[in-house]
Amino acid sequence: MWGDVLQRRPGQTVAVLPEADADSLAETMVAFANSDGGTIIVGVNESGRATGAAYPEEVEAGVKAALARCRPPVQTEWQQQEVAGGFAFFIYVPRSTELHSLDDGRVLVRTRDENRPLSGEEIRHLAATKSTGDFETQTLPGARREDLDDEVVREFLDKWQEKQHRKWERPLDDLLAQTGALDERGRPTTAGMLLFGREPQAFLPQSGLVFVKFPGTEPRGEDGRAGYGRREEVGGPLARIIQRTWAVIMEEMRTGAVVKGLEREEQTEYPQAAIREALVNAVAHRDYRLRGRRIEVRMFADRMEIISPGGLPGYITLDNIVDEHFSRNPRIVAGLFQWGYIEELGLGVDLMIEEMTAAGHPPPHFRAEPYLFSVTFYNKQERPPVALWQRTMNERQVKALEYMQRYGRITSREYQQLCPDVSVETLRLDLANLVEKGVLLKIGDKKGTYYIFK
């Protein structure tokens, strides 16, 4: 388990600290507990090699001092392991249903690879939705262990072992309990039924999905009356819903061809990665407490809509949806992560936008209401696909290139004026990155340095 964590870069659920600094530990513990949980690796650098700056006594003292700063106390589990060059210390912090703060009153959450303090309004939103994760752990009246599909469980076990790079040596039900699928008495939880149930919809009718294809741009049939071209109801555990819905979408997406150089390349109506990400997000993050409505995938002649019951969770808004991440269903998200449907937490919205714009489509349109969230993809191509280096630019770099289109050049000072809240070192790395990609040319040295298009 820990070896797999060590291979991952710092991000939404992994933090790396070279030494057991109590302040840094406390901030990260609170941020993980308020977000999706995570693992703090102490005593290594970002390459995974031991720094030699952390010892068991110091780590124990640092953890104790950090926990004393958390209000209320944060649950932790930690152990040490030998790594290249010495020892690493792994401190696991689970997602909490309580709202945690530091002793100075700050409430932090994890945003990508940083700990961010929340504003007063964000704290209120987070506090109001914190307890929804409890729904996953509730048992279902009448549900028994036999209601879980052993074939699906074994498939999950194979995926888990592949991702963890080790065999599961204990009874299989212990793994289900560890993932939150069974309670302490061996009864299926809501998360367990959704992930592994033989017939989850018998217990949670709202957990299915409906796919509808309309021939035109309005929700009606070819003759103008109410109707549709194809309708599919998809049920089963969540992994099967994703698999079966994806198969239907691929059957219905138009496919064309483009010629690149001397090769003919097949191209689907929408970028596959963007649609797949939106589908997985809808399944992972919908509010399963809401009855009476299932996830809907609607395909029209000019667009595709993926509609998920439940508004945005926690402190997420349309304004910060690209940069922030908060899981309404952390156990379901963790299960789909082990399955391989979720590659990296917090990157889904970015991927949708990048894939759509890179293919020349408008960016996806997001709509949030109190009990509904939808993503709409339009299939109209507005411009030719952009080059790979354009796809990997961040917003700051885009600002720099827009400035250069107007003025022909840019200096480090001018870039700092464009992005006043960003560190000088980060901006320097941005420009160096564009030089390395062959986009910009660096002219001059020291104070006289400026950049032009190559």
Q: Given pLDDT bands bounded at 50, 70 and 90, which one contains residue 24?
A: very high
- What's the average model confidence in pLDDT over 50-63? 89
**Residue 44: its pLDDT value, please?**
87
Tokens linked to 50: 């031991």
Give per-residue pLDDT as tens, 400-430.
Answer: 888 887 777 889 989 998 998 888 888 989 9
Relative orientation angle of helices 348-358 and 272-285, to the nearest 10 degrees:
160
Domain boundary among 378, 397, 412: 378
Q: How many helices (H) and strands (E) does the chain have?
A: 17, 18
Check whether residue 362 and residue 393 sit in a common domain. Answer: no
β partners of residue 16: 41
Check whether residue 310 and residue 216 sit in a common domain. Answer: yes
Q: Given pLDDT bands bounded at 50, 70 and 90, which one contains residue 28?
A: very high
Question: How much is the pTM?
Answer: 0.75
Domain boundary among 378, 406, 422: 378
Is the predicted pLDDT of residue 2 greater than 60, yes or no? no
79-83, 167-171, 265-269, 439-443: which has the highest mean pLDDT? 167-171
- What's the average model confidence in pLDDT over 326-334? 89
Instruction: Please give the C-alpha separations between residue 316 and each of 5, 35, 74, 121, 286, in angstroms, as whole numbers.
Output: 26, 11, 23, 11, 14
Check whether residue 191 and residue 259 sit in a common domain. Answer: no
**Residue 265: its pLDDT value, please?**
62
Question: 56-70, 148-162, 218-232, 381-395: lowest mean pLDDT where?
Answer: 381-395
Is the predicted pLDDT of residue 258 greater than 60, yes or no? no
With respect to residue 125, please indicate whether it lies within any of the assigned structural domains. Answer: no
Check whether residue 405 and residue 299 sit in a common domain. Answer: no
Percent of the chain having pLDDT more than 70? 90
Q: Is 11 helix (H, G, I), strand (E, B) or coil?
A: coil
Percent of the chain having pLDDT more than 90? 52
What is the rounded distance in angstroms from the CA atom of residue 213 to the CA atom of residue 221?
Answer: 9
Which domain CATH number covers 94?
A: 3.30.950.30
**Residue 188: its pLDDT value, please?**
97
Domain boundary among 117, 151, 168: 117
Residue 420 exposed, middle or buried by CB count within 10 Å (0-12, 13-18, 19+): exposed
**Residue 346: its pLDDT value, please?**
60
**CA atoms within a 13 Å half-sphere pointing along the CA-CB vector of 107:** 17
Give per-residue pLDDT as tens, 183-220.
Answer: 999 999 999 999 999 999 999 999 999 999 998 888 87
With respect to residue 129, please indicate whether it lies within any of the assigned structural domains. Answer: no
Whether the ω angle into residue 72 lies within 30 degrees of 0, i.e. cis, is: yes
Those residues whose C-beta lies under 8 Å from the C-beta of residue 324, and which sit 6 or more positions away, are 109, 111, 315, 316, 346
What is the rounded distance in angstroms from the CA atom of residue 10 to the CA atom of residue 114?
Answer: 9
Check whether residue 158 and residue 225 sit in a common domain. Answer: no
Check whether residue 216 and residue 363 sit in a common domain. Answer: yes
With respect to residue 345, please indicate whether it lies within any of the assigned structural domains. Answer: yes
Token look-up 């819903």 returns 241
Give per-residue pLDDT as tens, 423-441.
Answer: 888 898 999 888 888 888 8
What integer best gives the mean pLDDT of the chain?
88
Q: What are phi and psi of 241, to 5 degrees?
A: -60, -45
Which domain CATH number covers 335?
A: 3.30.565.60
Residue type present at position 332? I
Check whether residue 428 and residue 441 sit in a common domain. Answer: yes
With respect to residue 12, please indicate whether it lies within any of the assigned structural domains. Answer: yes
Give per-residue pLDDT as tens, 59-113.
Answer: 999 999 999 999 999 999 998 888 877 889 999 999 888 999 999 999 999 988 8
Q: Given pLDDT bands bounded at 50, 70 and 90, which one contains residue 145?
A: very high
**Residue 347: its pLDDT value, please?**
66
Residue 310 CA to chain centroid, in angstroms?
Answer: 17
Check whether residue 190 and residue 145 sit in a common domain. Answer: yes
With respect to residue 130, please indicate whether it lies within any of the assigned structural domains. Answer: no
With respect to residue 127, please indicate whether it lies within any of the assigned structural domains. Answer: no
Is the predicted pLDDT of residue 260 greater than 60, yes or no? no
Q: What is the DSSP string of 94-134?
A: ---SS--EETTS--EEEETTEEEEPPHHHHHHHHHHGGGGH
Relative orientation angle of helices 272-285 and 330-339, to the nearest 10 degrees:
140
Is the predicted pLDDT of residue 134 greater than 60, yes or no? yes
What is the rounded distance in angstroms from the CA atom of residue 126 to the CA atom of residue 176?
Answer: 28
Check whether residue 6 and residue 28 sit in a common domain. Answer: yes
Quote the number of domains for the chain: 4
Give per-residue pLDDT as tens, 282-312.
Answer: 999 999 999 999 999 999 999 999 999 998 8
Check whether residue 212 and residue 234 sit in a common domain. Answer: yes
**CA atoms within a 13 Å half-sphere pointing along the CA-CB vector of 239:** 24
Note down the domain range covering 247: 208-378
DSSP structure class, residue 53:
-
Tokens linked to 35: 């977000």
Is the predicted pLDDT of residue 259 greater than 60, yes or no? no
Check whether residue 221 and residue 181 sit in a common domain. Answer: no
Check whether residue 150 and residue 195 sit in a common domain. Answer: yes
**Residue 45: its pLDDT value, please?**
82
